[in-house]
Amino acid sequence: MSQVAAIQMISGADVQANLDTAARLIAEAAAQGAQLALLPECFAAFGNRALQEIGAAEYDGSGPIRRFLAEQARQYGIWLVAGSIPLPAQAAGKAMACCLVLDAQGNEVARYDKLHLFDVEVADNQRSYRESKDYGYGDRFVCIDTPVGRLGLSICYDVRFAELYQALRRDGAELIVVPSAFTAVTGAAHWDVLLRARAIETQCYILAANQGGRHANGRETFGHSCLIDPWGEITACLPQGEGVICGEIDLQHLNSIRGRMPVAAHCRFVPVDDIVPATRES
């Protein structure tokens, strides 16, 4: 069995203040024995309007956020799944909402650019969200091998699109991460049910790290960072506030569930994928 952690934050616009908080919580996750830790969406810059500038500074790997992540992974000998940061696909390009994975030596071993962008109306104090104004669309899914199992990557709004999670399952995913900044309104309505559904459908562990509280810009996020097992049971949860939840990944348990209910083998629907097949990274 392996230990994983989800880190819950209430990030703001100040990048350095966010990194200081992340460092404290990563240290807590490592102290609890986590081999892999997940940061939330927008952990380093929440509500910061200079996303293109932040992303451009990170493009070649020398920016403060990517340096920080490498240093933290090396310091604690832990795999880090870095929620999302703004990062362009090319030097002069539009920022992407990008999830980086770093190994225990601080090497970047995977990059996932968010496929589904949050352009919706919500009955909260912000009312309208237009993520595509700030970010470009990703065009592929990513699944990689890690010490805790084969890892599928997704970000926040992706969780509403079951096709992505089935693609990750077909590519061998055993654990799927969902770094998020779910609003309080949409979270109260749909967070638990969507995450549990994705776990049950894919028979994967789901590790979700959400922003969790009232932010300086007035937005309120739902929290409830959690670990869900392949049977859909929530095994750890943090309702609100900064903190860390830890839990176990038991691949024998996963394989037992899949063996007793082999839904993947029973599927009679043949999908036609509209997104680029995953690049197999390991």
* Residues annotated as part of the active site: 41, 114, 156
How many residues are listed for the chain in this entry? 282
The long-range contacts involving 98-105, CB below 8 angstroms and separated by at least 24 positions, are 99/153, 99/155, 99/177, 99/179, 100/66, 100/69, 101/144, 101/146, 101/151, 101/153, 102/69, 102/70, 102/73, 103/73, 103/79, 103/146, 104/73, 104/74, 104/77, 104/78, 104/79, 104/147, 105/73, 105/74
Q: CA angle, corner 141, sides to 139 and 142, nearest 5?
A: 130
Strands 149-153 and 143-146: antiparallel
In three-state secondary structure terms, 267 is coil
The closest alpha carbon to 158, from 181, 127, 188, belongs to 181
